[in-house]
Structure 1
Amino acid sequence: MKALVVPLAVALATLGKSCLAFPAHSASNNASVDGLYNLVNRRVPQHAGAFRFALASGNNTGLDTFTLRDVTSQDDSCGAQIDIECNSISACARGLYTYVTEFGGVDIWWTGSRLDQIADSLPSVGTPVTRSSVVRYRYFFNTVTFSYTTAFYAFEDWELLLDWMALRGINLPLAWVGYEYILVEVFQEAGLSDTDIADFLSGPAFQAWNRFGNIQGSWMGELPRQWIDDQFALQKKLVSRMVELGMTPVLPSFAGFVPRTFATLYPNASVVVGGQWNGFPPTYTNDSFLEPFDPLFTTLQKSFIDKQSAAYGNVSHIYTLDQYNENNPYNGSLSYLANISSATLASLKSVDSQAVWLMQGWLFFSAETFWTNERVQAYLEGVPGNDSMIILDLYSEAQPQWQRLSSYFGKQWIWCELHDFGGNQGMEGNFINVTAAPIEALSSPGSTMVGVGLTPEGLEGNELVYDVLLDQAWSSDALDRAAYVTSWVSRRYYTPDLPSAAVDAWQLLSSTVYSNTDPSSQATVKSIFELEPALAGLVNRTGHHPTLVFYDTNTTVVPALKMLIEAGYKSEELASVPEYQYDLVDITRQLLANRFIDIYQSLITVYNSSTSTENDVSRVAEPLQELLFDLDHVLLTNSHFLLPRWIGAAKAWSRGNATISSYLEYNARNQITLWGPTGQINDYASKQWGGLVNGYYARRWEAFVQYLVETKKNGTSYNATTVSDVMLEIGEEWDKQLSDSEQAYLGSTENSWEIVQQIVVKYC
């Protein structure tokens, strides 16, 4: 008899599928709600049979709609309690999310899913709830997110993120993983040798910019074939899961970037050489570009898409293709630009008659001098009609281009929140902008906006401002900040009798730190201790990578942190909530990052004084090193702020091969430090991680202080070049060192609660 015993959740899930298949009437012959039941089984297993999903036809608006209602005993004999009817799988997933959050009070976060904490007795819906999206598309990802955040993700990491995406209503995600496998096959078919191809491909942590045509080759060794194969296998799982969850993956296509030897192999081909990117030596940049009007372009495009379709199935007609990311066209004439775009779409249409070209609109902002209104118009209007192209207005929250470009001259476009450069962690956001601005853009005269999207370079903190934009996609009125934050905090810290101090802390942060209206300091706030030490130029930077702290730390971060601690005193349950623990560390991290500025400025003032001595410099620099040690100590208490998390994830893909493990670790280290063979984009992707702060940044600042002391002692002048040379040497040495195991740098097992309290006493 024991062999017949089946876990209750599994039995209910099986029963639910068999019983609930009958009432569902599909809006598409190919649509299946099985993925939704699988999602419930993963995240709410104790209620596996409690939800009934039904696809209904009849909504021709192009918008997604769902209705929640209670299931009465007369309606169902299989135990279902909540009925979710929708016109798309994505709408059903959003309906499920609406139920578990608004009625169940639980949520799913980047730090993990808490949906299984929903009550044993599910709350009733009462009056049926019907919601519709206000836009057709809810887009997610930036091409560079696949390098800055997900470069080394295992399927388990992706599984959480994909469920997070589906539940929040995302239906148009970028799907770059595994691209190199298809590309290699295309190049091999074209007659290029393995050596030609290997010299073109970049390392795993830098593949985004190889795909963009910014860099080629690798300064750390050849991309392992094992990596290419493993990523392709992962992509098969990811695409399948995306489709199962009602998403349309935006698939790669052939963009035109080819190995140098392509021009030799095809001497009559129209191949031009792109410009140097970000100071990289010519060996690693100046990519060759096969122009789209060359017949070979269409040949390679067909080869690529055919192979991709054979691998993943006919799952999408939307293709990402970016030709000029931070690299201007070979020719600026209007006819040339129109010819390029016209031929590009024609290459896609030659293999997929329903093809839609999706591109990031970053170039129109970053190279605005080249991309005048006339040139943009010529380039976009080279694509016939308005339904075969979607443009991501990538930086809408701070530098929107849709207004300047007349709603992209009739092409479809998506309002996007870029927000996060390089995966930096500074707390920043503009709550009002990401709620009111998309609604205003949607209703503006002549608007061709078709979606909202998240396009962060990296997913590192600031979860509030990402959540609110995705929720705004389901409301025609701008969401109220105070009401939204109260609800958000109650779900984030799901616990009985949540102390009001926790809500008050986030109300304060949302009205200050997350209400930044200064475009010159939007997207991120980088801490100066992550930058190469210098006598000047670190503080109050604005522009692309601002260090300007636009709020008063003493009236924002300090009281908010104290209120969170107070809330923890009042609720033992709160102190054990993972998101509470994360936020304590994150806000403490921001406090110390801001305090570092004051200490640094004191050091510079003393050093520049004509009456100060080397002893004075040493004395005033001591708190600087102490702060970095304290910060590292705090970060080491939470797994989400650990350097080993990043390095360990990279090394795991080696599958025990020591050579590949070393190669992957070097990739991981170099990206977050020098970003290039000799610091070409030094500190761009810097992180405040335990092990990195004390092991790398503190070492640089120690060397800097030592140099200042020596110049004071010897009466010599400060030489910025000497300092940079020392910092480069430290970076090169650190990048090439290897950790003994994934647990390297784990120096603290103390409770973050206790350490944070000590920090507050010391720095507040």
Structure 2
Amino acid sequence: MVRLRRYLTDVAHVDIYWFIGSQLDHVHDLPSCTVLNGSSVIPWRYHFNTVTFSYTAAFWTWEDWETQLDWLALRGVNLPLAWVGFEKILVEVFEEIGLSQADILEFLSGPAFQAWNRFGNIQSSWGGQLPMSWINGQFELQKKILKRMVELGMTPVLPAFTGFVPRVLPEIIHNATMVNISQWGGFSTEYTNDTFLEPTDPLFAQLQKSFITKQRQYYGNISSVYTLDQFNENDPISGDLTALKTLASQVGQSLKKADPDAVWMLQGWLFFSNSDFWTNERVEAFLSGVENDDMLILDLYSETQPQWQRLNSYYGKPWIWCQLHDFGGNNGLYGQVLNITINPIEALANSSSLVGFGLTMEGQEGNEIVYDLLLDQAWSNVPIDPAAYFHDWATVRYSNATDGDLPLQIYETWDTLMRTVYNNTNVTGVMAVTKSSFELAPNASGLVDLWGHHPTHLMYDPAILVGAWQTFLAAANSTPELWSNEAYQFDLIDMTRQVLANAFNPLYLSFVAHTNLTALDVSNASAVDACLASATETQRMMLSLLSTLDQLLCHTPSTVPESSLESWVSAARAWAGDNDTISDFYTYDAINQVTLWGPTGEIADYASRQWAGLVAGYYLPRWRTFTNAYLEALGSRTAVNQTQLHGQLLGWEEQQQLRSGSGLSALQSPQRLKGMLQMIQSDWCGFLNCTRTR
């Protein structure tokens, strides 16, 4: 497959992309070529994070999966995670030991939150009850997915029984050893505090064998690699070294009893996320419970927070160097091109147990080039030159836009992006894809220059991106055919989105400064009036910017899945068929994930998206309410009642959970997009300090 992609990209100049689909039909006469040689420097190329199945693929259809699997195959991925349909087998296993279907369904979480139910972080659902129609539909989808994976030469990583059980199980089986191990994310006990069947109890091995046996009966003997994570942001009951070794040993033995060839794949996130618990001694003790060849570890966050060095290459266990990159499906432009080319090759030279490279993003929502780059690095024993790579990637991406050469502005733009936006080296500060401050719940402080996993701090000068955007826009002047090219349309919208998102920060800071009563002499009426006038104008610009951004996002090409709130919700509702009650539940679930993430905002805005409909229908009204409160307070020379404002915002946010979408749909006319860009330049180039491109 990789040779095929080499031919398609290097010779025919076409490819398959996440957001713009396949270009393969643009080749009418296949060009001839010499023999293409090459081999992978590692045996495994891995793809997916457990939570990708919720943040990105929750409502995917078979058509979505077909495109995804083609993309994976062409890039040489041979070890994809395959969680879909897990609940069908779990239900049958639980029914065997006397649990009712009602008790089981009460334990399971909604479609947009299944990943964390599988992890044992949450249980039940706050928007409705998961219906069997969903479980059966996902099971049928999984059959197609696995069949295609096998046809493409892949080894699917299959689920196993983790030990998390409905909380009524102790009432049915009285002598089994069960504990409650999770208190996660600020959720109430109703939705967390999951019940965990200890692996040392004989019932654990019994259920494991039942699960794997049923899975093999349904799907065939297609893989012996099993994903099994019990301590994702949960800790074991005991930190005793012997207890940890015994725990892992019992889990490993349960797999081996069900499948003698079983390999336990573990996401290594736990060793980073709670390194206070997972000391080197404890990790070594835990891992020593399983033979080296019977375990495979994902060093989940290798590009930013690698654990393999601290943990001595996982004490001999085979492991995979992974790029996480994105949390929650956030949309900011971001990358670490040097880290994902140099570091995996250095790791390969310094760790004898490194067996693969992989992608483990939480959400697959953008920045496709950096994912391509790591997967292509798997086929080179020296670090890829990012400058040459970005040049060649752009050549293929827009090759069908014109019969002649691409304009130089295309290459200039991508070279600038490679050196700035995609070249973060401050990995202890800006650790992942950036968010915009407007996506966060409005506040008078703490929104700009955030660091960590959801940074709002920019590691590049926003003016540089404005310049690159202008250069990219100018390319269509010399080559008007670009306006009809979906790849160009998508990338132009994406860059414009980031330019506008960045512009919100100075407006926000100006508004906060002008409405800060503690910095004003309230007895000076003229000074207060001047601040009120400035703040009022700044509010107008803030809301206008968000409205403009939403209008821009409506022009995203129709080939782009989940490019708007409406398309995300429509995909969810489609799984409900004609059942209005289920449709409303899926709608709630879909909207809740990208807004409140919990019944009362327990992880609010973690999975925020810059989508059409969400910007104008959710973020803009929040900021209008917030800025109005501050303008009114400034006008009356009184402090804002923060408790009242917070309650007002949360009440409104909770009301939005049952919306059906924005009603906005993508506009596909390139002339309309061109007009939209002309309007943005006319309205905003003065503020952005750029020259209007005609």
Report the TM-score range of the alignment, normalised by the length of the smaller protein.
over 0.9
Higher relative contact order (CA 8 A, sep 6+): 2
The reply on whether 1:161 has 2:79 as its aligned counterpart is no
Query: Quick one: which of 672, 677, 680 aligns to 1:759?
Result: 680
| Cα distance in structure 1, aligned partners of 2:319 and 2:245 | 19
**2:46 counterpart SS class:** strand
Q: Which residue number corresponds to residue 71 of structure 1?
A: none
1:431–1:514 contact (8 Å) kept in structure 2: yes
Post-superposition CA distance 1:404-430 (Å, at most 9, x none): 000001001000000000000011100
Determine what percentage of the aligned residue pairs are the same residue: 52
Q: Which residue number corresponds to residue 201 of structure 1?
A: 108
| Cα distance in structure 1, aligned partners of 2:5 and 2:665 | 36
- Structure 1 residue 280 displacement after superposition: 0.2
- Structure 1 residue 615 displacement after superposition: 4.3
Q: Which residue number corresponds to residue 612 of structure 1?
A: 528
Q: Which residue number corresponds to residue 331 of structure 2?
A: 425
Which letter maps to 1:617?
A
- Structure 1 residue 225 displacement after superposition: 1.1
Question: What is the correspondence of 1:438-477 to structure 2 with a 5 Å cutoff?
Answer: 438-444=344-350, 446-477=351-382
Query: Quick one: which of 505, 512, 517 aligns to 1:597?
Result: 505
Question: What is the correspondence of 1:92-107 to structure 2 with a 5 Å cutoff?
Answer: 93-107=1-15
Q: Which residue number corresponds to residue 221 of structure 2?
A: 314
1:145–1:459 contact (8 Å) kept in structure 2: yes
| Cα distance in structure 2, aligned partners of 1:707 and 1:456 | 38
Query: Quick one: which of 325, 329, 333 aligns to 2:232?
Result: 325
Q: Which residue number corresponds to residue 650 of structure 1?
A: 572
2:16–2:24 contact (8 Å) kept in structure 1: no
Query: Quick one: which of 442, 446, 453 aligns to 1:533?
Result: 442
The reply on whether 1:219 has 2:126 as its aligned counterpart is yes
| Cα distance in structure 1, aligned partners of 2:59 and 2:494 | 23
Question: Is 541-550 or 213-222 further displaced after alignment?
Answer: 541-550
Question: What is the correspondence of 1:647-686 to structure 2 with a 5 Å cutoff?
Answer: 647-686=569-608
Question: Is 717-726 or 584-593 further displaced after alignment?
Answer: 717-726
Question: What is the correspondence of 1:129-528 to structure 2 with a 5 Å cutoff?
Answer: 129-383=36-290, 385-444=291-350, 446-495=351-400, 496=403, 497-519=405-427, 520-528=429-437
| Cα distance in structure 2, aligned partners of 1:437 and 1:553 | 27
1:534–1:720 contact (8 Å) kept in structure 2: no
- Structure 1 residue 749 displacement after superposition: 6.6
The reply on whether 1:744 has 2:663 as its aligned counterpart is yes
**1:272 counterpart SS class:** strand
Post-superposition CA distance 1:277-300 (Å, at most 9, x none): 010010000001001111000000
Q: Which residue number corresponds to residue 550 of structure 2?
A: 632
**2:286 counterpart SS class:** helix
Q: Which residue number corresponds to residue 569 of structure 1?
A: 477
1:498–1:574 contact (8 Å) kept in structure 2: no
| Cα distance in structure 1, aligned partners of 2:449 and 2:550 | 24
Which letter maps to 1:562?
Q
| Cα distance in structure 1, aligned partners of 2:298 and 2:642 | 40
Question: Is 570-579 or 232-241 further displaced after alignment?
Answer: 570-579
Consecutive unaligned residues of structure 2, counting only runs of 5 or more, are 521-526, 689-694
Which letter maps to 2:441?
E
TM-score (norm 1): 0.86
| Cα distance in structure 2, aligned partners of 1:340 and 1:747 | 52
Q: Which residue number corresponds to residue 523 of structure 2?
A: none
| Cα distance in structure 1, aligned partners of 2:597 and 2:49 | 19
Question: Is 430-439 or 111-120 further displaced after alignment?
Answer: 111-120
**1:537 counterpart SS class:** coil
**2:210 counterpart SS class:** helix
**1:612 counterpart SS class:** helix
- Structure 1 residue 713 displacement after superposition: 2.7
Cα 1:702–1:184 change in 2 (3 A) is same
Cα 1:575–1:749 change in 2 (3 A) is closer
**2:143 counterpart SS class:** helix
**1:407 counterpart SS class:** helix
| Cα distance in structure 1, aligned partners of 2:324 and 2:456 | 17
TM-score (norm 2): 0.94
- Structure 1 residue 447 displacement after superposition: 3.0
**1:160 counterpart SS class:** helix
Which letter maps to 2:315?
F
**2:293 counterpart SS class:** coil
1:97–1:168 contact (8 Å) kept in structure 2: yes
2:6–2:36 contact (8 Å) kept in structure 1: no
| Cα distance in structure 2, aligned partners of 1:364 and 1:158 | 31
- Structure 1 residue 748 displacement after superposition: 5.8
Which letter maps to 1:407?
S
**2:38 counterpart SS class:** strand
Which letter maps to 2:15?
D
RMSD: 1.3
1:633–1:748 contact (8 Å) kept in structure 2: no
2:566–2:660 contact (8 Å) kept in structure 1: no
